[in-house]
Structure 1
Amino acid sequence: MQPFAGDTTMGGIFNTDKRIRLGIWGLGRGSNFIQAAKELNIDVVAGCDFHEETWKNFLACCPDAFVTCDENEFLARDFDAVLIATFCPDHAMHAIKALQAGKHVLSEVTAFFTPAQGVELVEAVETTGKVYNLAENYPFSKENMYLAKLYREGFFGEMTYAEYEYVHGGANPCVCYPNGQPLAPGNQLHHWRGWINYHYYCTHSLGPVMVITGLRPEKVVAFPEDVLNIGTVHGKGRKTDGILPNLGAFAPSLIHMSNGGIVRNLMGGTTADSHNQRLFGTKAAAELYPRFNLKVGATGSAHTITIDAKWDALGELAAKAGHGGGDFWELYYFARQILTGEKAPWDIYAAADVTLAGIQALRSAEAEGQPMDIPDFRKKALRDRYRHDHWQQEHIDPARIFPEDQDLAITGDFAPAFANAFPLMRLIRAAFDAMKVYDYTIPEQRIQTIDLVKELRDKLPAIRIGFLRLKKIADAYPESMGGIAIREKFALCEFDRVTDTETCKNDLNAWLLKCHAK
């Protein structure tokens, strides 16, 4: 896979009057690409989503477009390409169906859910001759694109080691639609966000290293999760493993790249977001957060240079798109390949590489840390070993987290009540923990702690109401996955303390008075 930077020789971006008629399958995430499409010779002419609430925003942006909830009706329409932004485990099935319908495909991450699906998808691309790109956007930040340029110029020498992370918490997506509204009926979790292991979601961390260096992953090892005591908010071996994995869920792996270098690849959603990115070469090194620094001099006593990265071209257009401009660039490369034939970074083979790295990492973890090969699906002979390999993560049915004989009048409030409670839970822990270290906090940040405590004090009545809503569900179905998840959140948020409203309010006021006296 060859990395690309912005093309500075374009006229009218692609120097052609040819247009691409695009259908978007999955109008939640998919609608985020509409504005960028207008700049890239792309006309959005059709949409498909089973959730009709998403149609409103789509039609507001594309009033002349056809829209339906029927995927067969959608694919039967006369257009050139499909942007697939449906549920993550369904991407391969939908991509294959679109390819066979004669459409080019830009698929959201990840490309497939099992190795067998990967073989089928690769061969569908080869058989149809259509363009397939993976919509992985993190390599296309200004910083990573500049690193790719420097790497191609030999600035870093050979990559020896890299650390890239995508640790991004947030449990609301487990109980909400993409627009933030709670699921309906509310007695369930999101189709896949409520249970999928973070190893699968490895493209935002491994992807930039692949594009910057042009290397492919060859082997991966990951420690068993019970050894690391990570996994999910729930204890290992419990029937609730996997639901609401917003805390305690780390998925680290070590990946051996094709030049012999090592990547520490880290995904997860835990007690802090983290997007650290570091790259070490034989001649120089780079770190992207909290500032973009290059370390030069080829020794441990490196000279540090702070960089203000800029795109080579089209920066103003890219800046309007999401994910730091990445959404623009992945759509740009897709359109360019269709219009000019110039290969994009994320073709089907690179998409298979990065997706298999996650699948095989989870496989390694479940095999007590045994190293796993990451097969190269460019090699037709190798594919036969994985053609019938349907290995996948064991997971719960997100629609069955309560007993069959449940009272929907009670359990139907699970998603709405959790969606209401999550920001309150975050506030509780933030305030209580900030209070504990207040005396050691730098002076200019102490006012932030005081404001948090005041906000918690003022929201105690709402917290009590919200927590009692959840308690009603947990009391009715204490042994259900939903009930256990509620009780574990209560333990995290000190249920008894915050629902004793008057006592807690008095304690907080006394603490604030003490701070004022100081």
Structure 2
Amino acid sequence: MTHQPLRLAIVGGNRGSRFKQTLSALAEHIQLTAICDINEEMLHQWKQDYPGIELYRDYGQLLQNSTIDAVLLASPMLLHARQSIDALRAGKHVLSEVIAAHTVEDAWELVETVEKTGMVYMMAENYCFERSSLTVKHMAEQRLFGEITYAEGGYIHDLRHSVHHKDGSPTWRGDLHHTYNGMNYPTHSIGPIAKWLGLNEEGGDRMERMSTFVSNSRSLRHYFADMFGTGHPAAQEGYWKQGDSAVTTITTRRGVLIVLRVDWTSARPHNMRHYALQGTEGAYLSGRFDGEDDLLWIKGRSPFKEAIPGQPSDGEVEEMWEPLSRYQPRYDHPVWKQWGQQAYASGHGGGDFLVLEEFAAAVRGKRKPLIDVYDAAAWSSIFPLSMESAARNGQPVVFPDFRRALR
């Protein structure tokens, strides 16, 4: 049976441009129909690559176009919830970049709108679709780690250059750091972990309460003084509300402890992925930098360290880590086995390709996507809840149960 391609509009041409290669690879399933951006030059660049697309500077006008089936929201983060709700009510399926909503009220309205309209909504958390994340998920589903008791996730990524324009004025990331103080970009950290633990799944575990602590704000002040001079407003004490590092501790209903860290303004080498998983039968550690192996230990499978001849031994047997790659492709997730070769050439380790493919497949199959609105609401709510906790010196706050309407 043949299917018409999903007619897709991209909102936000800058981040959206990272999907061009993926769109070409998925041309049988997705047809780029329109681009919306407030920047005329950006629209012109897209028109050169895709002469047949329609261009919009007004999002409301785009939503009135009945030939558009779905929107990919690659716009600034704080716009996502309202743009998603408006699109769903206009009869458009939605694939939204992270985070889905920055207030609990918006998260509830998003959930309720998806339930009322019946449209497909997916959050584009591409870290869930990287090969190693999918492998660990597949192994966790087969209980190779035993009962999982602890997980750790971090987004530690020097993005100081992304908080300002060339003239020193703030981008949306800069405004975010200037305005809020908490776990301000949580879903890259929690997303893969949530899938490893089966959070929000029917009959599964869910996040129950959390506390957030934030360090002093130092890095961006020094950076702006170096880049634009000590007289620049952003080089002044008190300009940046967000601390350099934010750490959130979460406990689940079943007693799993989760620790998240976000820091995308401190000066340091690249370390965009940081994960750990501990179970009763195994453990996982992600590589600390590009090129370092992810590590795995599985009880009864991983090797022991051999005694060195001539050296004294206390008789204890020492466990050894081994590269996760030794367990691939045997434990590669079925999604990666099907699409990995095509996905790997796209951004974020194949994540960008698999996000778009999954979204199109969910719309085509009239089913919920692998990251649905309940995932999106729960993971994104870490943002506002962390602000509340940090303002109260780390006092615990309780997660809403966004699936309660289904119970």
Structure 1: gaps of 5 or more residues: 1-14, 177-181, 383-518
1:305 corresponding residue in structure 2: 322
1:52-71 → structure 2 map (5 Å cutoff): 52-71=40-59
Relative to 1, partners in 2 of residues 1:232 and 1:320: Cα closer, same or farther, differing over 3 Å? same
- Evaluate the alpha carbon distance shift between residue 343 and residue 100 of structure 1 in structure 2; reply closer, same or farther with a 3 A threshold: closer
Q: Write 1 or 2 for the structure with the bigger share of strand.
A: 2
CA positional deviation for 1:301? 4.2
Q: Does 85-94 or 207-216 show the bigger shift?
A: 207-216
Identity of aligned residues (%): 32
Asked if 1:292 is matched to 2:294, the reply is yes
TM-score normalised to structure 2 length: 0.81
Equivalent in the alignment of 2:384: 359
Query: Which residue pairs with 2:245 in the alignment?
Result: 250
* Aligned counterpart, 2:402: 377
- 1:66-86 alpha-carbon deviations (Å, 9 max, x no partner): 011111221111210000111
Q: How does 1:172-187 map to 2 (within 5 A)?
A: 172-176=161-165, 182=166, 186=167
1:148-227 alignment runs, 5 A limit: 148-176=137-165, 182=166, 186=167, 188-196=169-177, 197=181, 199-215=183-199, 216-223=206-213, 225=214
State the partner residue of 1:104: 93
For 1:52, the aligned partner's letter is E
Instruction: Report the Cα distance in structure 1 between the residues aligned to 2:134 and 2:397, rounded to whole angstroms.
Output: 30
Give the whole-Å Cα distance in 2 for the aligned partners of 1:204 and 1:381: 26
Cα distance, 1:170 vs. partner? 2.2
Which residue is equivalent to 1:31?
Answer: 17
Q: Shift of the alpha carbon at 1:327? A: 0.5
Q: Secondary structure at the match of 1:218?
A: strand
Counterpart position of 2:202: none
Give CA deviations for 1:210-230 in whole Å, capped at 9, x if unaligned: 12221232211112x3xx435
Matched, 1:43 2:68: no
Distance, in Å, in 2 between the alignment partners of 1:17 and 1:95 is 25
8 A Cα contact 1:231 1:251, kept in partner: no
Change (3 A) 1:125 1:31: same
Residue 240 of structure 2 corresponds to 241
Asked if the contact 1:89/1:112 (under 8 Å) is kept, the reply is yes
Equivalent position SS for 1:220: strand
Deviation at 1:107, TM superposition (A): 0.4
RMSD (CA atoms): 2.4
Corresponding residue to 1:119 among 101, 108, 119 = 108
CA contact (8 A) 1:106 1:134 kept: yes
Deviation string, structure 1 residues 117-168 (Cα, Å, up to 9, x no partner)? 1111111111111000001001111111111111111111221111211111
Distance change (3 Å), C-alpha of 1:301 and 1:357: farther
Distance 1:31 1:212 in 2: 30
Q: How many residues align?
A: 352
1:217–1:357 contact (8 Å) kept in structure 2: no
Deviation per CA, 1:177-215: give whole Å up to 9, x if none. Answer: xxxxx3xxx463113434334612011111110122212
- How far apart, in 2, do the equivalents of 1:141 and 1:202 lie? 17
Deviation per CA, 1:456-499, whole angstroms, max 9, x where unpaired? xxxxxxxxxxxxxxxxxxxxxxxxxxxxxxxxxxxxxxxxxxxx
What's the CA shift for 1:232?
A: 5.9
* Cα distance in structure 2, aligned partners of 1:111 and 1:129: 18
The alignment partner of 1:112 has SS state of coil
**Higher percent of residues as helix:** 1
Q: Give 2:313's aligned residue.
A: none
Where in structure 2 are the equivalents of 1:443-482 lying within 5 Å? none
Residue range with higher mean Cα deviation, 249-258 or 196-205? 196-205
- Please tell me whether residue 331 in structure 1 is matched to residue 324 in structure 2: no
Query: Separation in 2 of the partners of 1:381 and 1:154?
Result: 28
Aligned-pair CA distance for 1:61:
2.9
1:259 CA displacement: 2.8
Within 1, Cα distance between the matches of 2:31 and 2:134? Answer: 27
Q: Which residue of 2 is the match for residue 459 of structure 1?
A: none
Match of 2:400, SS state, is coil
Distance 1:63 1:259, change over 3 A: farther
Q: Structure 1 residue runs of 4+, over 6 Å off?
A: none
In the other structure, the counterpart of 1:315 is 340
2:79 aligned residue:
90
Q: Report the secondary structure of 1:320's partner residue.
A: coil
Q: Please say if residues 95 and 107 of structure 1, whose CA atoms lie closer than 8 Å, have aligned partners that are also in contact.
A: yes
Deviation at 1:112, TM superposition (A): 0.7
In structure 2, distance between residues paired with 1:127 and 1:328: 29
Which residue is 2:226 aligned to? none
Is it true that 1:261 corresponds to 2:259 in the alignment? Answer: no
1:271 paired residue number? 267
TM-score (norm 1): 0.64
Secondary structure of the structure 1 residue equivalent to 2:149: strand
Shift of 1:25: 0.7
Q: Per-residue CA shift, 1:16-65, capped at 9, x if unaligned?
A: 43310001111110122233234330000011000112113322332200
Shift of 1:361: 1.9
Partner Cα separation in structure 1 for residue 60 and residue 389 of structure 2: 38
Q: Provide the residue aligned with 2:333 in structure 1.
A: none
What is the distance in 1 between the residues matched to 2:370 and 2:174? 27
Tell me which residue corresponds to 2:132: 143
C-alpha distance in 2 between matches for 1:42 and 1:157? 40
CA 1:363–1:91 in structure 2 vs 1: closer, same or farther (change >3 Å)? same
Q: Is the 8 A contact 1:23 1:45 kept in 2?
A: yes
Distance in 1 between residues matched to 2:321 and 2:2, nearest whole Å: 44
**AA aligned opposite 2:174:** R
Amino acid at match of 1:135: A
* Unaligned residue ranges in structure 2 (runs of 5+): 200-205, 223-235, 303-316, 330-335
Deviation per CA, 1:313-347: give whole Å up to 9, x if none: 21121012111110011111111110013432211
- What one-letter code is carried by the residue in structure 2 that aligns with 1:17? H
SS at 1:46's partner residue?
strand
* Contact 1:163 1:277 (8 Å CA) reproduced: yes
SS of the counterpart of 1:28? helix
Aligned twin of 2:225: none
Amino acid in the other structure paired with 1:321? S
Whether the 8 Å CA contact 1:232–1:241 is kept in 2: the answer is no
* Larger Rg over CA atoms: 1
